Amino acid sequence: MNNGETRPRPAAPPADGLAPERFPHTWRAPGAPRRTVAVGPVTVGGARVVVAAGPCAVEPNGSLAATAERVRAAGAALLRGGAYKPRTSPYDFQGLGEEGLRLLAAAREATGLPVVTEVLDPRDVPAVAAVADLLQIGSRSVQNFPLLREAGQSGRPLLIKRGMMTTLAEWLGAAEYALAAGAPGVILCERGIRTFEAATRNTLDLSAVVLLRRICRWPVLVDPSHASGRAALVPDLAAAAVAAGADGLLVEVHVDPAAAWSDGRQTIDTDTFARLVPRCRAVARAVGREL
C-alpha cells in the first residue's frame, strides 16, 4: 500500500557501509582475481608470504644498518623503518627526517631490500617517494584525504595501515582515495584496533584479514607489533596471521630493543626474528603458501 509517498526511496545502504558500488577500485566480486603489488622486485599478494622487518624508527647510530643485514639474512623481503614518526607527544623523538631517508637508502643499497617508510605530511611526499619503494600511510593518517591523494599521485604503491578506530568501509574508502588519485597499487595493513582491552596495546582483528581477503582485491598484511604492544606476543600473533591468510607481515625488529628510540617494548630482537621466520614458513606451507 502507498502511504502517501509518491517517489520510490533508494535502497538503504548496508549498516556496515560495505556497498560494492562504493568501492570501484578495491571491491572484489566472488570469483574475481586478487591483485598483486610490485614493491621494487618483490611481489606482494602472490603465493609467497612477504615479511617486512626493521626498527620502528631509523636511528643515527648504526642500528638500522645492523638490523637490516640481520633481518635480510633471516629471510625478510622488505626493510621497514620510520624517518618521520607520528608521536602522541610533540616532545618525543619525531624521527630523523631527511637524514633518516638517507640511511634507509644506504641500507637498501647494502642489503638489496626494498624500503617501506611512512610519509606523514603531504609536503614530504616527493622526498619520501624518492627513497621509498612502498609509501606507508600510518594509522593516524588513514583519513588524511589530502595526504592520500598526494601519496596516490607519487607513482609508488601505498601501504595503508588501519586506523585504530577505522571500520573496514572507512579503510577501503582510504584505499579508494589513493587509487582514484592514480596509485599503482595498495596494500592494507591490519595493526590492531582500540577496544576495551587494556592488557594489549590494541586488539588484533584477524576477522578483518579473513573478510578482506574475500571482498577486497588488494593484498593484506598484519603488523603484530603495534597490534599487541608486547614483544613476547609477536611470534605467535605472526604465525596466527599467516594461518588466517595474511599476505605478509610488518614486524618491528631491532638489534637491541631495550635501546630502541621508539616502541622498544613491542620490538623483537634479531635472534627472535630468525626463529619467527621458519615458524611462519611452516604455517605458510600448511595453508598452501611459501615464505
User: Which spans of this chain sit near ligand PEP (rule: CB under 6 A)?
Assistant: 56, 82, 86, 138-139, 161, 191, 226
Distances (CA, A) of 17 to 13, 165, 173, 263: 6, 15, 10, 34
x/- mask, Mn ion, residues 145-184, rule CB under 5 A, reads ----------------------------------------
List the one residue from 117, 263, 281, 284 that touches Mn ion (CB under 5 A): 263
Smaller CB distance to ligand PEP: residue 70 or 226? 226
Query: Is the distance from CB of 270 to CB of 68 less than 8 angstroms?
Result: no
- Cβ of residue 114: shortest distance to ligand PEP, in angstroms? 16
Min dist. Cβ of residue 263 to ligand PEP (A) = 7
Please report how close the Cβ of residue 231 comes to Mn ion at its closest, in angstroms.
12
**Pseudo-torsion of CA 105, 227, 159, 172, nearest 10°?**
-170
Q: Are 186 and 27 in contact (CB under 8 A)?
A: no
Q: 88-107 mask for Mn ion (x: CB under 5 A)?
A: --------------------
3-state secondary structure of 216: strand
Assess contact for 229 and 265: CB atoms under 8 A: yes
Q: Please, which residue, 2 or 88, has the CB nearer to ligand PEP?
A: 88
56 is an interface residue for Mn ion by CB under 5 A: yes
Strand partners, 51: 249
Closest CA to 193 of 165, 229, 234: 165
